[in-house]
Amino acid sequence: MPQTCWYETDTTYNNFFSDADIQGYGNMEEIISNVTPLGFSPSRVIVHNVAVVLQKLFSTERLQVFEGRDKSKILNLIVTSLNFWIGELIQSDNFLLGHVVNMLEILVKSGKK
């Protein structure tokens, strides 16, 4: 029987991470660069929590973190994860579908300002 990690089975930790107050945290780049790679996890619970955290980050109206040439790696990572979710996971996951649609809507509206 394969072993699972604590973060794949313990919903207490998963709920804690997704419910964290990220608006008061100053370094969004650090959050994004540390959380986004978890979106490629085989665990749906982890992917769902990453989607919730990213949506919260995008809804804080601090999207200027993506401005500038040196920020392109973070933006590419997010676009790659969204592409993966849309191409591989979204067809069978309504929870993820809702969050991806909301994130894309926020990103599109932020580009029109």
Q: How does pLDDT run across 26-72, given as a tens digit for each residue?
A: 677 787 888 899 999 999 999 999 998 888 888 765 666 666 667 67
Do the domain assignments include residue 38? yes
The answer to whether 60 and 22 have CB atoms below 8 angstroms apart is yes
In the prediction, which pLDDT does 110 show? 72
Domain that holds residue 101: 6-111
Do the domain assignments include residue 12? yes
Q: Which of 4, 57, 60 is nearest to 33 (CA)?
A: 57
Count of structural domains, the chain:
1
For 59, which DSSP code? T
Query: What is the rounded average pLDDT of the residues 80-86?
Result: 93
Do the domain assignments include residue 1? no
Do the domain assignments include residue 103? yes
In the prediction, which pLDDT does 7 show? 41
